[in-house]
Amino acid sequence: GENVEQHPSTLSVQEGDSAVIKCTYSDSASNYFPWYKQELGKRPQLIIDIRSNVGEKKDQRIAVTLNKTAKHFSLHITETQPEDSAVYFCAASIVSGGYNKLIFGAGTRLAVHP
């Protein structure tokens, strides 16, 4: 089955710097890759997602890139702010039969220091 590895497990940056989180997946049939942000004790919230027919997607300070050949995808946060501090999860799924089963990475704890 699908396996998703996420690195680094913790990331500390200064406010204004960029942060990059990387994930690799094992199943080349995976075709949907969302990213979630989870603040302490709260629900995961979708921040951006990408399909396998797209190599890059941006939403303001957040971007995701996908390399299907290498089977990895990355989250890029520019001009980080203290409110970006949270745990970020990547996920991969094979969309079929009208649903998708997300396989999550273990998470990256991002700390943005003022």
Q: Which residues bind another protein (CB under 8 A)?
A: 6, 32, 34, 36, 42-46, 49, 51, 89, 91, 95-107
**Smallest distance, Å, CB 13 to another protein?**
20
Nearer Cβ to another protein, position 81 or 106?
106
Least distance to another protein, CB of residue 41, Å = 8
If you compute the radius of gyration of the chain from its CA atoms, what whole number of angstroms results?
14
* Tokens found for residue 85: 């501090």
Residue closer to another protein by CB (options 14, 42) is: 42
Is the CB of residue 109 less than 8 Å from the CB of residue 42?
no
Spatial separation of the C-alpha atoms in residues 102 and 30, rounded to whole Å: 10
Question: Which residue lies nearer to another protein by CB, 14 or 60?
Answer: 60
36 CB neighbour count, 10 Å cutoff? 21
